[in-house]
Amino acid sequence: MRGLELFSGVGGWHFALPEKANIVAAFDINPAANATYELNHGLRPSAKELANLPAERLLEHQADTWLMSPPCQPFCRMGNHQGLEDPRSRAFLHLLEILDLHPPVSLVLENVEGFQNSDAHLRLVKILDSHGFHRAEHCLCPSHFGIPNQRPRFFLVASQNPLACPPRPEFNPMPVASYLDQREDSSLYLTEAVLAKHKPGLDLVRAAGFRTACFIGGYGRRLVGSGSFLVTEKGIRRFSPSEVARLLGLPEGFQFPEGLPLDKRYKLLGNGLSIPVARWVLNHLNA
Ligand SMILES: C[S@@+](CC[C@H](N)C(=O)[O-])C[C@H]1O[C@@H](n2cnc3c(N)ncnc32)[C@H](O)[C@@H]1O
């Protein structure tokens, strides 16, 4: 595979790829995402705005596969549901035009649940069908793979070649404890004043439990509805970025650029992909 990673973030698709596959170019407008991507994958993504990227800038890489996680706000349960009307869909719309003119061999997309009922999905599927792509669609969650984290997402995988039908992995559910840092960071504990105000709204979990809520980009700043908080003997604390990264299935060696503030780390992780789920989806291309 010669892959293009579009809306590349920290490179979740790159981490999920089998060894023989390769990402030949990545694209993202976020400098913190691009610095993190380069540190972990040794490839600097292009920071060009995808909404007006000339088709040649994609085609010059002679990629056969497009891997993409377009911005999800236009399709979110909590969002405005404007779909393709939302200005944040401009880049995706532009890519659909290029896709129609210059279809790659395969395309893989991840987005929030709800995308499958959107005008964007309808437009994408129409293009794929008109070019005779085989297509599989799934709503998947890391909790289906034994990981104690809720992150329901929609996945579409399409190819001009027949698709494989990978068996669901066998797993033993793992407790939250398996994903915790060996040495905890005491600065992650919430103060009495914060707890007095917000405790009733917090999603509280314990190390022995088998569930955490979806960690969103605002976890570093928001408390309610942003992810789970861990109850320990010492109090209640946030999960550290490395614990969230572990729950996403990022490798132990995953790093952020030195000095990247905590809220930006949570933001990048909150945009991220569940790697074991993404890896399973990619197995469809191994027919
Ligand atoms: C949902 S995140 C993708 C995360 C990625 N899959 C990962 O593993 O980290 C969407 C990404 O698209 C980028 N993005 C949003 N609009 C863009 C645009 N118009 N052009 C290029 N990148 C864009 C954002 O900076 C963000 O990193």
Residue 71 CA to ligand 1 centre (angstroms) = 6
Catalytic residue IDs: 72
Q: Whose CA is nearest to atom 14 of ligand 1?
A: 7
Shortest-distance atom of ligand 1 to CA 111: 1
Task: Say whether pLDDT at 57 is over 70.
Answer: yes
Shortest-distance atom of ligand 1 to CA 268: 9
Q: CB of 267 within 8 A of CB of 217? A: yes
Residue 211 CA to ligand 1 centre (angstroms) = 27
CA 68 – CA 156 distance, rounded (Å)? 10
Q: 255: number of CA atoms within 13 Å, CB side?
A: 10
Q: Whose CA is nearest to atom 2 of ligand 1?
A: 271
CA 213 – CA 226 distance, rounded (Å)? 8
Residue 269 CA to ligand 1 centre (angstroms) = 12
Q: Ligand 1 pocket, 12 CB below 6 A? A: yes
Q: Ligand 1 pocket, 10 CB below 6 A? A: yes
- Both tokens of 273, joined, read 């992909």
Shortest-distance atom of ligand 1 to CA 8: 5
Mean pLDDT of 242-259: 98
Residue 207 CA to ligand 1 centre (angstroms) = 32
CA 148 – CA 155 distance, rounded (Å)? 20
Angle at 267 between CA 29 and CA 119, to 5 degrees: 65
Q: 115-165: per-residue pLDDT in tens?
A: 999 999 999 999 999 999 999 999 999 999 999 999 999 999 999 999 999
Q: Which CATH architecture best describes the domain 176-268?
A: Alpha-Beta Complex (3.90)
Which residue ranges make up each domain of the chain? 2-168+274-285, 176-268
Q: Which CATH number fits domain 2-168+274-285: 3.40.710.10, 3.30.70.20, 3.40.50.150, 3.40.50.620?
A: 3.40.50.150
Task: Say whether pLDDT at 78 is over 80.
Answer: no
pLDDT band at 168 (very low <50, low <70, confident <90, very high): confident
